[in-house]
């Protein structure tokens, strides 16, 4: 009996629901007491199961180049806002939703007229007023402070009408001077009514408060459970457990998926039914990005080697409710591995399946897709260090980062199935053939593109197939050159938060206007460039060619040049030589 079949037999719907309900009780904002308490809950559960557990309390006040700057700790006690003119109405309350107060908002009371700012550029006109905006971002908040606004209330245009969106400030120690006015959220339904009143020429007055504060000491608590030993490196099943209280799919679902895999492995090993085949597996729960970067630094300081990782982020969606697709987010092409092939194979075996009309063929009974590497979760930290890592993720989700991402939107069986399939993928690595998987994704990738990105994909697949010893018939392509080189100063996942920490808010505003508004994949392109620079110094034009192949769209030369300037200013790369 294979490991996947064995692990699948330990499914308990009641246990999955219990774990999800208990973990979602904590308001798990990064830097908050609720996150640390949730980490303690994870530790206690794993210890009760008899697993070997370690807890890393990593100070947010430390720097984790180039991902996380020293971040300020925070707590919240209450938050509230109401319209007092023309008609009294509650428009935001922490008692209604944990997402009603924007994470890391400073405390304060306010009362004033509402000023609608449809984009971050419009907040300058809101002096002595309460800003209402759908264009949330740290630079929007800073713009409101600099304009002399008295509060910010944000909403999301694409959110369900009655949902409070989840937003945060994530201030670094260098941002403390900007933390001057309270920030809350409201629902799209309420915001649209206020905007309609303003358009009719009515004055809308809002009164409210936030009761919160900042913490001198806050920890990114990482919880690690272990099974097995190996001299050939360890594999990580990782999930971030941060985010607002009472929200579930992001990412209580992934956290419970990893818990389920750990629980099933523990039971099966105790009963002598599971042979882990000289494999070392770490089940890891992290605060997203910030905790992962600090944790991996500790892992390497201990002399450990990580051979691969599977990141579970938003895996539990009831697709009929959320409109989601289960995605296998691949590693960059240069990091294609047996692990990636094994995760695909294990998923195809582990997901609910149906039979075709008149043939032996079977297929998953849910929407599923394979997509090329994209950033946005903890696999980024691994990939940026040259470690093969994939993500299992459901996207889109109409309730993403809102108060309506609740337990009712989670499928317990799917959470469990994905969790144990991920573990089985690691345990069954030896029996996996990478060749058919490589042929499949090569075909998919070269069918979808043309021009320079197609040539670049020919080049990238030719290179990785030779490294894997697979006979893949690929056209010979010579990458272009420019005569200018660029090299990586230090490996890691470069974030916009770290760039803000190093270069300031004004630089981020410039970055938004000159890059993100011009080429929406700018930060993804920069992350991919960092991965390819792990190979050593490169010609700039060759690097742009490789990044374009990964993206499947050509990165404009002027955009790429600006990206490298940004990375060099942040101390991430050096040009010339």
Tell me the per-residue pLDDT of 155-204, one tens digit each, with 9 for 90 and over: 999 999 999 999 999 999 999 999 999 999 999 999 999 999 999 999 99
In whole angstroms, what is the distance from residue 381 CA to residue 378 CA? Answer: 6
Beta strand segments in 246-321, E: 280-286, 306-312
**48-70 exposure pattern, b = at least 16 Cβ within 10 A, e = fewer:** ebebebebbebebbebbbbbbbe
CB atoms within 10 A of CB 459: 21
pLDDT reported for residue 412: 98
For domain 3-69+218-432, give the CATH superfamily.
Zn peptidases (3.40.630.10)
Angle 254-270/412-427 helices, nearest 10 degrees?
A: 60
In whole angstroms, what is the distance from residue 214 CA to residue 76 CA? Answer: 9
Cα torsion through 374, 376, 377, 380, rounded to 10: 50
pLDDT reported for residue 518: 83
Q: Are 114 and 205 in contact (CB under 8 A)?
A: yes
Q: What residues does 538 pair with on adjacent strands?
A: 486
In whole angstroms, what is the distance from residue 118 CA to residue 476 CA? Answer: 50
Which helix (H) or strand (E) covers residue 235, if one does? strand 234-240
Name the stretches of the chain with pLDDT < 70. Answer: 577
CB atoms within 10 A of CB 112: 18
In whole angstroms, what is the distance from residue 394 CA to residue 415 CA? Answer: 11
Q: What residues does 75 pair with on adjacent strands?
A: 213
Q: Are 315 and 253 in contact (CB under 8 A)?
A: yes
Q: Parallel, antiparallel, or unpaired: how do β-strands 234-240 and 219-227 relate?
A: unpaired
Which overall architecture, per CATH, does domain 75-215 show?
3-Layer(bba) Sandwich (3.50)
How buried is 6 (Cβ within 10 angstroms: 0-12 exposed, 13-18 middle, 19+ buried)? buried
CATH 3.50.30.30 domain position(s) in the chain: 75-215
Angle 13-23/254-270 helices, nearest 10 degrees?
A: 130
Q: What angle is formed at CA 107 by the lines to CA 106 and CA 113, rounded to 5 degrees?
A: 95
| Cis amide leading into 246 (omega within 30) | no
Please state whether 31 falls in left (phi above 0), alpha (psi between -120 and 50) or beta: left
Q: Are 80 and 90 in contact (CB under 8 A)?
A: yes
Q: Show the 3-state SS of 171-225.
A: CEHHHHHHCCCCEEECCHHHHHHHHHHHHCCCCCEEEEEEEEEEECCCEEEEEEE
Q: CB under 8 Å to 551, separation ≥6 — which residues? A: 372, 453, 521, 524, 525, 528
Q: Are 564 and 540 in contact (CB under 8 A)?
A: yes
CATH 3.40.630.10 domain position(s) in the chain: 3-69+218-432
Q: What is the CA radius of gyration of the chain?
A: 24
Q: What is the per-residue pLDDT across 490-519, written as a single tens digit (0 to 9) for each?
A: 999 999 999 999 999 988 888 888 787 789
pLDDT reported for residue 215: 97
Q: pTM higher than 0.85 for the full model?
A: yes
CB atoms within 10 A of CB 524: 19
pLDDT reported for residue 513: 80
In whole angstroms, what is the distance from residue 76 CA to residue 98 CA? Answer: 10
Q: How far is CA 389 from CA 254, 332, 342, in A?
A: 15, 9, 12
In whole angstroms, what is the distance from residue 373 CA to residue 390 CA? Answer: 8
């Amino acid at each position: 009996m294979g490991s996947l079949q064995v692990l699948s037999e330990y499914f308990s719907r009641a246990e999955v629901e219990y774990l999800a309900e208990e973990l979602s009780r904590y308001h798990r904002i990064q830097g908050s007491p609720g996150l640390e308490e949730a980490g303690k809950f994870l530790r206690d559960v794993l210890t009760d199961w008899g697993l070997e557990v370690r807890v890393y309390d990593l100070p947010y006040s430390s720097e984790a180049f180039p991902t996380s700057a020293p971040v300020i700790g925070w707590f919240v006690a209450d938050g509230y806002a109401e319209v007092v003119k023309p008609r009294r109405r509650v428009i935001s309350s922490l008692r209604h939703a944990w997402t009603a107060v924007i994470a890391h908002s400073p405390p304060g009371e306010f009362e004033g007229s509402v000023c609608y700012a449809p984009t971050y550029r419009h907040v300058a006109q809101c002096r002595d007023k309460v800003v209402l905006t759908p264009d949330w971002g740290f630079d929007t908040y800073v713009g409101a402070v600099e304009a002399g606004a008295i509060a910010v209330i944000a909403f999301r245009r694409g959110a369900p009408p009655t949902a409070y969106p989840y937003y945060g400030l994530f201030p670094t120690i260098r941002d403390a001077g900007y933390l001057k006015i309270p920030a809350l959220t409201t629902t799209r339904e309420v915001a649209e009514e206020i905007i309609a009143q303003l358009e009719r020429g009515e004055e809308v007055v809002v009164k409210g408060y936030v009761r919160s504060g900042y913490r001198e000491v806050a920890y990114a608590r990482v919880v690690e459970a272990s099974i097995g030993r190996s001299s050939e490196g360890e594999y990580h099943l990782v999930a971030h457990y941060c985010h607002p209280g009472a929200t579930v799919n992001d990412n209580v679902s992934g956290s419970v998926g990893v818990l389920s895999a750990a629980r099933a492995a523990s039971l099966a090993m105790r009963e002598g039914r599971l042979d882990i085949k000289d494999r070392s597996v770490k089940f890891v729960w992290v605060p997203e990005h910030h905790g992962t970067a600090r944790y991996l630094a500790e892992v390497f300081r201990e002399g450990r080697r990580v051979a691969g990782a599977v990141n579970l982020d938003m895996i539990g969606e009831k697709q009929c409710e959320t409109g989601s697709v289960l995605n296998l987010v691949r590693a960059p092409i240069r990091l294609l591995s047996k692990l990636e092939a094994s995760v695909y194979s294990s998923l195809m075996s582990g997901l609910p399946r149906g039979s075709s009309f008149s043939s032996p063929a079977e297929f998953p009974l849910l929407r599923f897709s394979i997509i090329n590497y994209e950033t946005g979760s903890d696999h980024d930290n691994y990939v940026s260090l040259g470690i093969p890592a994939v993500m299992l993720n459901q996207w889109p989700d109409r309730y993403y980062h809102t108060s309506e991402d609740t337990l009712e939107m989670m499928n317990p069986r799917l959470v469990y199935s994905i969790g144990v399939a991920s573990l089985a993928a690691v345990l069954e690595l030896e029996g996996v053939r990478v060749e058919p998987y490589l042929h499949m994704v090569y075909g998919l990738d070269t069918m979808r593109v043309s021009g320079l990105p197609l040539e670049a994909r020919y080049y990238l697949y030719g290179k990785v197939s030779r490294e894997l010893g697979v006979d893949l018939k690929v056209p010979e392509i010579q990458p272009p050159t420019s005569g200018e080189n660029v090299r990586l100063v230090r490996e890691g996942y470069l974030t916009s938060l770290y760039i803000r920490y190093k270069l300031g808010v004004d630089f981020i505003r410039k970055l938004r206007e000159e890059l993100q508004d011009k080429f929406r994949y700018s930060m993804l392109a920069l992350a991919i460039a960092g991965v390819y620079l792990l190979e050593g110094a490169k010609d700039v034009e060759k690097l742009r060619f490789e990044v374009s192949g990964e993206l499947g769209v050509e990165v404009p030369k002027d955009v790429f040049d600006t990206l490298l300037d940004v990375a060099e200013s942040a101390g991430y790369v050096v040009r010339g030589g």
